[in-house]
Every structure is written in structure tokens, then in C-alpha cells.
Amino acid sequence: MTDDMVNIEVDGKPVEARKGQMIMEVTDSVGTYVPRFCYHEKLSIAANCRMCLVEVEKEPKPMPACATPVMEGMKVFTRSPAAIAAQKATMEFLLINHPLDCPICDQGGECELQDLALGYGRDVSRYNERKRVVGDKDIGPLVSTDMTRCIHCTRCVRFGEEVTGLQQLGTTERGENMKIGTYVEKSIDHELSANIIDLCPVGALNNKPYRYSARAWEMTQRATISPHDCVGSNMNAHVLRGAVKRVVPHENEVLNETWLSDRDRFSYEGIYSSDRLAGPRLKSGDTWEDVSWEEAFACLANEVGTASAEKVGMLASPSSTIEELHLLSLLADSIGTSNIDYRVRQCDFGYQDNEPLMPWLGCNVADIETAGAILVVGSNLRKEAPIIAHRVRKAAVAGSVVSIIDTVQREYFFDTLERCHGKGLVAQLAEVVVAAAGNDSLPAPVARICKDVKPGQEHQNIAKSLSESGNALILTGLIAGRYPATSAVRALVAALGDLTGASVGTLSEGSNSAGASIAGALPHRTRGGKRRSSCGLNATEILQADLDVTFLLGLEPEDLTCVDEVAARLTDHKFVVALTPFTSESLEQSANLLLPIGTFAETSGTYVNCEGSWQSFSGIAKPVGEARPGWKVLRVIGNLLDAEGFDYPSSEEVRDELIDSVGDLTPDNTYRGTTAIETDMVADDPAKAVDVPIYQVDGLVRRAAALQLTPDALRIKDQS
């Protein structure tokens, strides 16, 4: 036994534990359950519910297991008469004021208080006085409150203070009069706020959109993957009669831990939007007509069959599954076009020949917490990838030196070394690179950009922190990826990584940018990063070109920010076919044929996240109307066009074929450019940076009613 270990007994069984561990941690590790309410492994210890009282030898009274550290020779009794009596007494006190409304409570059937009351509660209450009643609080469109049920565990309060860094909930008064709420009825306003629903052990905080729509025991729980950002958070959908009723986190410690962003939790509402496309629709003149699948496919086959290959373009959503993207790439090969791209929000493509195989984080998501220094470049991090922002905050709280280079100042709830903004990203990065180089020569690709640059003190501090940490990480965000001078930003970040020894990582659009790159949804590369014989048109060029046929996979004009006046550009194309779950005024203005495909909930598929993990999922809900999985629609199109190799019976076979064709892939962010980068400083303009609001990133989120009532969404509406 080492010096940092102690020997104790738990219910007569010898156990080895670390010094400083709480009894609760030890009992959990050996599978001995101790009842609790206020304790949560991700939060600090409060010890205010007293439900976890246990007997400790030689102690005059029961001790809280969550707040009592183990000591050598300690004997703990979790089921002794004294421990049981203390736990039952605590339960009696908790039930004194708790309302008897389990039949109408949304927490019924999965309530921790309900479960423990069965084992530790009395069948008859000895309390005859009037019960306490607490008025409900309006804390926004996502979380409903029934504060009379609150047992003052303070999990929700500690979550705000410790996990988000934004104290939105607090306590007033004392004793049984204590109340939890927001300041002057303010709405909770953080992208992770709704996790308090899962943390609440009773029915005080519930899912507001889901309220009174189903009972826990009626629903089936099915695992799936978030389709909105590059993390690919794991989640469970609760399904009733084929419809998704709510979404909760699926614990995955290396990705999203036990948390889920509000965007991932509530976007399911968009599945059942009134904008769902119920069946194929064809435009005849200015009139839209409902047609059969057979008529729609025949029209499409005729248009593609009469078009020249170089006049066909394909644009795909970066949140499409890798199976859909693989088939789209195969379809492009069959037609003979290289005009295919998923980078629909990028406007500078000068870097593409030097791009790595796929956008990669530079490390595993969990490893962000252990970085000694972090530099975030061109990112609205909290809104782009809330789970990544959470990991960065944890790193900062643990002592990591975090700096930010951005186009504007944004709000972060952790300490930073430097926050630089106001100037263009290129100008600021050039100063850091020059500071990092010192007296050494600058890397050739950035030598011209950095010529005559004199670093300021703040940029010198950033360079020093990256060089001295020994474990530094540079994260390039979505704003940098959409920047007019992205090529220069990429080259400078790569040079900075080489000079300081820092790892370089990239946050990418949607849930499957990495998968799109691997599947060959690019004009210059095919599957597995193999170079195409001839480079096709990129996303901007496809929209600006005079094309005969244009495919849109999972996209609407609102998703295409790479050029101005997207709808007008698409109108100039002869024939636009949209494989889409939704219809809209802008899409009906731009397209000629609409084919309904399923959302992420109505199809099977695979996403590759920012750390390179392949995550497959199954369909969890019945398709709406005549919607079909996107991969099946593409398979039929391939068959109609007599393309070879389109006879796939399942999405798994599509995925496995791609895996076999690309072989083992190792993520690598090494910059491959050798020629000097020049940038027009007009392009290095912070005013030209594109920041897509968190609740506008895709069609599903835009149609989630509750999300559109949040402060984040309302601020955007007020600004527009």
C-alpha cells in the first residue's frame, strides 16, 4: 500500500481508498449504494440534503457520506439500524412540505425522491400543519418550474456557478423559507442552462416544451448523435408511437460527459415543424405541384441525362451523414463532374490544396482540459461548440493559460491572459508569429505577411505562453473558417504551431465536416483524400456558375453564406433539385424539384466528429409524410442514371464500403504549403467576419419553436 492509500471497512468488507476521498466516492466505487439528493459527481459538495447519513464507528452521530473523508482504519456502516434510522428521519423531513402531486408531475416514474421515498418514507405522515407553497418562476422558454416541489439540494445553483461560470440561479431567505430563482424573473441565458432539468432530483425543474405530453414509462429510449456541431454529443431520444418527445444526454465521459447543449436538447422540435416537406414537389412555371416519387425521379433523370457533366454541380450540408456524402460523391463520379462541395459557408479557398485530410481538433476532446496553454482564434466558441467551450473553461479553471484572438469582444466566464480584438485576424496573428519567432527567420509561407510587423505586448504575452507551456493548443474557430482571408489565417496558425510547439486544431461546420472530407465531397479531392484528376468548382463558384443541374443535399438558401444573394444566384441555374426535409419560401423561390428526405432522427447513418471518431446511429422515429432516408434517395437516383455500384441494401454497407476504400486514416493537421502567402489587407477586415447565430445554424434548429424564444434568438431578431 502506498502512502496515499488507506484501508477502511464498508459494511464489514475491507476496502482500499485514496486519502482525502469522501465516503460516498468509496461506496460508489465498490457498488454499495448510499441514498443522496444534493450530491453529484460533477459538482462540489454541499452536504445540505443529509440523505446520505451513514454510521461511522466511534462517531457520536451519523455522518454525511458525501462530505466525510476516509481515514485509516475507518469502519463505515451504510445499512446499520442507526444509518437507516437517520436516512428515514431525513426523508420524513423532506416530505413534510413536498406536495402529493406525483400523478401530474412530469418527473413521475423517474423521480429520485419518489424512488427513495418508497424505501425510506413512512406510509403515514406525522405532520399535520399547513404545507409551504412557493410561487413558480418564469425562467424562460426551455425550463418549467414547480418550486413547491424543491427540496433545496442546490444542484441547479452549483451548476451555474461551477460548470457554466454564470450564476443565474441563486437562493433567498433561510430554512424552509429558502427559495431558488433568478434575479427579478430573468430568463436563464446560457447555452448549457437546460442541464439543470437532468440535475434536479425532483419535479421542480422540468422540460418546458415536453411538459404534459407523455409519461416516462410510455416511451422508448433510443441512442443517437447530435447533428449540429463537430463534437457529436451523445444523446438519448425518448420516443412515443414513433415520435420524438424529448432528448436527454447519453453519458460519454470523453465527449460530452453528462451534459448536452440546449441546441442539441431542443432541436427535435423542428422535426415536426409545419414546414416539413410531406412529399415530392415539382415547379411548373411559377406553380408548385405535388407529384409522385416516380414522376419526380423521371423528371430528375431527364434533366441530368440531357446536361453536360461540367454543367452539373452538387452542394451538400456538412451535417449530412457520411453515407449520404459517399453516395453523392459516387454520383458525381458517375456523372463525370468534380463540381461538388460541402464548404457552403467558406469564401476563401486558396488554402484548399494545402488542407489536411480532414478538419481535426488536434487532440481528443477530453484532452483539452489538460492543455497548459490555449489560444482560440476567430471563434464565438460558446455558441459554435458549447461542449468545447465547456472543456476550455475547465482547463482555464484548472490553471491553463487561455488567450483569445477574435474580430470582436465576446463574453467568456473564465479568466484569460489576453483578449485581442478590433483588428483583423491576419494582422493580429502576424504579431504573435513575429513575437514567437524572435530572432529566428520566419517560415517561408508567412514571411511576406509578417514583413515589417512589430508585435504589441499582448501578442508577445500570447507567444510566450504558448512557447513555455510545453502542452499548448491553438484552436481555430468557425469565424476564422468563414473569413475572407482564411488562407492567410491557416498559414499563420500553422507557422505559430511550428514555432511554439503547440498542437493546431480546427473547429468545423456542422456535425460531419470531417466525414465529408473523407467521403470526397470536395472539388479537388475524392475519397480518402486522393487528389482528383481535375479540380472542379468550389461552393462559391458553383453558386456563381451558369449550371444546368444543381443538387442541394440537406441545404436551404439560408445555409449558403459563401456568396451574397444566394436565392438570386440559384434562380439563375436551369434546374435545381433539393433533397431536403423542409420547404420554405426561399427554397421554393430557388429550386425546381423538392425531394423529401428524413432528418437525423429518421435515418441511420454515421458522423465523424472533430477528434476523428466514427459514430453510427440508427433511425429513432417514423418518417414524416413520404420522407425517405437521404442515402436511399441517392441510391435510387444512381440506379436511374445507370451508375455502377449503387445496389446497397443498408446504410451500413455504404459505410463499410467507404471504410474499405479509404483504409486506415490518421488525422494530421500538418501544413503542406511551401509558397509564400499574400493577402489583400482589405480582406483582413473584422467587419467582414461571418458569425452565424447559434439558433440559426441549420433548418432543424431554425424551426425549433422553444429555441427561437430564447434570449439568444430574440437578440438576433431585435438586431435584424
- In terms of pLDDT, which residue wins out, 592 or 645? 592
- In terms of pLDDT, which residue wins out, 254 or 354? 254
Fill in the DSSP letter of residue 49: S
- Region 31-40: mean pLDDT is 96
296-319 confidence digits (pLDDT tens): 999 999 999 999 999 999 999 999
**With 0-12 CB in 10 A as exposed, 13-18 as middle and 19+ as buried, what is 311?**
middle
The set of cell numbers assigned to 574 is 436551369
- Region 328-334: mean pLDDT is 96
- Region 322-345: mean pLDDT is 96
C-alpha distances (whole Å) from 47 to each of 27, 29, 79, 195, 648 are 16, 19, 19, 21, 57
Rounded to the nearest integer, the mean pLDDT of the chain is 93
pLDDT value, residue 670: 80
Q: Is the pLDDT of residue 93 over 70?
A: yes
**Locate cell 408511437: which residue?**
241
Instruction: Find out whether 433 and 442 touch, Cβ atoms under 8 Å.
Output: yes
Instruction: Find out whether 470 and 372 touch, Cβ atoms under 8 Å.
Output: yes
- In terms of pLDDT, which residue wins out, 683 or 336? 336
- In terms of pLDDT, which residue wins out, 101 or 595? 595
pLDDT value, residue 696: 96
pLDDT-derived band at 563 (thresholds 50, 70, 90) equals confident
Q: Is the pLDDT of residue 679 over 80?
A: no
pLDDT-derived band at 665 (thresholds 50, 70, 90) equals confident
135-156 confidence digits (pLDDT tens): 888 999 999 999 999 999 999 9
Among residues of the chain, what percentage have pLDDT more than 70? Answer: 99
pLDDT-derived band at 720 (thresholds 50, 70, 90) equals low
pLDDT-derived band at 578 (thresholds 50, 70, 90) equals very high
199-245 confidence digits (pLDDT tens): 999 999 999 999 999 999 999 999 999 999 999 999 999 999 999 99
Q: Give start and end residues of each alpha helix (H) in 526-595.
A: 539-544, 566-571, 585-590
492-541 confidence digits (pLDDT tens): 999 999 999 999 999 999 999 999 999 999 999 999 989 998 999 999 99
Q: Give start and end residues of each alpha helix (H) in 438-565.
A: 457-469, 478-481, 486-500, 513-519, 539-544
pLDDT value, residue 329: 96
Strands 418-420 and 472-476: unpaired
- Region 579-607: mean pLDDT is 96
pLDDT value, residue 631: 97
Q: Is the pLDDT of residue 193 over 90?
A: yes
619-635 confidence digits (pLDDT tens): 999 999 999 999 999 99
Type and span of the H or E element at 320? none
Q: Is the pLDDT of residue 352 over 80?
A: yes
Q: What are phi and psi of 314, to 5 degrees?
A: -135, 125
- Region 638-654: mean pLDDT is 93
Burial 68-100 (b: 16+ CB within 10 A, else e): bebeeebebbbeeeebbebbeebbbebbebbee
Instruction: Report DSSP letters for 254-318, one per residue.
Output: TTTBT---HHHHHGGGGGG-TTB--S-EEEETTEEEE--HHHHHHHHHHHHHHS-GGGEEEEE-T
Q: Is the pLDDT of residue 444 over 90?
A: no
Q: Is the pLDDT of residue 131 over 70?
A: yes
pLDDT-derived band at 1 (thresholds 50, 70, 90) equals low
Which pTM value belongs to this model? 0.95
382-401 confidence digits (pLDDT tens): 999 999 999 999 999 999 99
